[in-house]
Structure 1
Amino acid sequence: MNQLTSPQIFIYAALPCEAKPLVEHFNLKKDTTVQPFAVYLNQNICLTVSGLGKSAMAAGVAYTQALFASVENPVLVNIGIAGHKDHAIGNLFLIDKITDADSAKSYYPPLVFTPSCAKAGIQTVSRTLLNYDPHTLCDMEASAFYETAVRFSSAELIHCLKVISDNESSPAGNIQAKQVAELIAAHVATIETLLKELSRLAKLISGPEESVLFEQLLERYHFTVSEQGQLKNRLSRWTTLTNAPVPEFDKDRLPKAKDVLFWLDQQIGKLEFSL
């Protein structure tokens, strides 16, 4: 891996045909030193082709983010295709609700900006469905991507973009790799706009106030490595939503690290509810 490269933006695609137009548009070069996954880079963007399915996507995200563990507040975006009962092939959607069909868990990527495309919910399944859901899009990676990605960055910087590749009139069996590449290529301008907006947000939440408080809390409380990541994500989310310092709290009433995390969850929950 090129040690001089420190990308801020991480794109995850399941299939090579989904990645191809992005590799070309952003002039990404394959890193031949990385073996488990196909990884493409420039100075600001890293694109990983994970392979099809939830397990492959989760592994791809975890592996890539471990390679670039020093990157603060990375932007993580899953870009790929999805099916729907009657949405027109080629339509682009930013996902605002992700439901895992196996676990029934749902995730709600927070939108703190106005997207330049339509929004939709998506259901992630383990195998291709014979019958299309009339209410949500359907794919095979989004839930695994999101559930893994939130371990590495603030939720506001993690999103899924899906292009409709199949519907009831033209089912999944008709999908061709060339067609998928063309569908993604048609939206590279919108994708680039989204990435720029998320990069702007990432810079906003990387301010010195957050870093100082993070270090102060580490000195006072014992956070495990996992809890340190959770703490950083919560402080980043607060800053993104408010652009203000975290309010003072009674440290005597929060004796343990997990108490601090729970308190921060409560404060952020109040903000997101009011939004």
Structure 2
Amino acid sequence: MNQANEYKTFIYTALPCEAKPLVAHFKLKKDTAVEPFAVYLNRDICLTVTGPGKSAMSAGIAYTQALFASVEHPVMLNVGIAGHKDRDLGMLFLIDKIIDLDSGRNHYPSLVCHPPCATDSLQTASIPQVQYDQPHLCDMEASAFYETAARFSCGELIQCLKVISDNQQTPAENIEPKQVSALIAAHVPAIEALLAEMAALAKLITPPEPRLFKQLVQQYHFTASERVQLKNLLCRWDVLTDHREPAFDESGLKRGKDVLRWLDQQVSQIDFCL
């Protein structure tokens, strides 16, 4: 399992055929040490195939964030297929409203990036919608993606892209995996453009890396979540001490957990006033 890299972009698909063209384009390699889900990696992208349905999507996000999250505000993108009453097959949409048909909850992704395509609303249901009697796009994962991703990043960096795969004239039972891969592959340039804009936005949102961060990460072992804690503690230290160098007592620091405990104690003892 490769945790040496900082994965800044997380892509989630429900189906292997949705992931296939993205794996090829971004030159991702499968992490064979991860068993519950198919995970593909390069230097800064982590793509997870979760399986269909809301529960699978939520589990896939939580699992890979626990393993690979290493930045405070990761880019998180759901790419997949959706049905619609009369939209043409192959049309790409950036989702501006997600309706959970089961719970009735609505979500509104923040579209602060320049959309690479048209926008539309989407309805998520636990079972396939085969009647095509709704004005929205339909899928089985987006609401769970958005709700779960919101626990790990900010709304501006959480987006859904959907390609129309079926409609009244060409219903869902006719969908073939090769067709799905071809539909996604046709929009790889738009997907890449959106990811680039989201990455640029993430740099504006994320504070600069604090001093000593790289040094401490090289000196001690930190898990992915511990690196995030370390960065937050060092940022607090810099603000409260006007960037004074912390006087580490290295004799008592053997692991990353020891460093975090020491820093937390030091920060808690600092007197400050507003």
With the length of structure 1 as denominator, give the TM-score of the two structures. 0.76
- 1:142–1:160: 8 Å Cα contact kept in structure 2? yes
Unpaired segments of 5 or more residues in structure 1?
220-249, 252-275
| Superimposed CA distance per residue, residues 155-188 of structure 1 (whole angstroms, 9 cap, x where no aligned partner) | 1000000000000000000000000000000000
Q: Which amino acid aligns with 1:5?
A: N
- 1:86–1:134: 8 Å Cα contact kept in structure 2? no
- 2:40–2:48: 8 Å Cα contact kept in structure 1? yes
Are 2:131 and 1:131 aligned? yes
Q: Which has the higher mean CA deviation after the structures are superposed, 94-103 or 125-134?
A: 125-134
Give SS of 1:116's match: coil
Q: Which amino acid aligns with 2:236?
A: E
With the length of structure 2 as denominator, give the TM-score of the two structures. 0.76
CA RMSD of the aligned region, Å? 2.2
- 1:124–1:139: 8 Å Cα contact kept in structure 2? yes
| Superimposed CA distance per residue, residues 103-135 of structure 1 (whole angstroms, 9 cap, x where no aligned partner) | 000000001122110000000001111211442
Counterpart residue number, 2:39:
39
Counterpart residue number, 1:175:
175
Counterpart residue number, 1:58:
58
Deviation at 1:213, TM superposition (A): 11
Deviation at 1:214, TM superposition (A): 7.2
- 1:82–1:166: 8 Å Cα contact kept in structure 2? yes
Q: Over alpha carbons, which structure has the higher Rg?
A: 2
Displaced runs of 4 or more, over 4 A:
208-214
Aligned residues: 220
Counterpart residue number, 1:262:
none
Q: Which amino acid aligns with 1:199?
A: A
Counterpart residue number, 1:104:
104
Q: Which amino acid aligns with 2:32?
A: T
Structure 2 Cα separation of the partners of residues 202 and 211 of structure 1: 16
Counterpart residue number, 1:93:
93
**Structural mapping, 1:163-202, within 5 Å:** 163-202=163-202
Unpaired segments of 5 or more residues in structure 2?
211-230, 241-272
Structure 2 Cα separation of the partners of residues 202 and 196 of structure 1: 10
Structure 2 Cα separation of the partners of residues 129 and 112 of structure 1: 30
- 1:84–1:137: 8 Å Cα contact kept in structure 2? yes
Structure 1 Cα separation of the partners of residues 135 and 124 of structure 2: 13
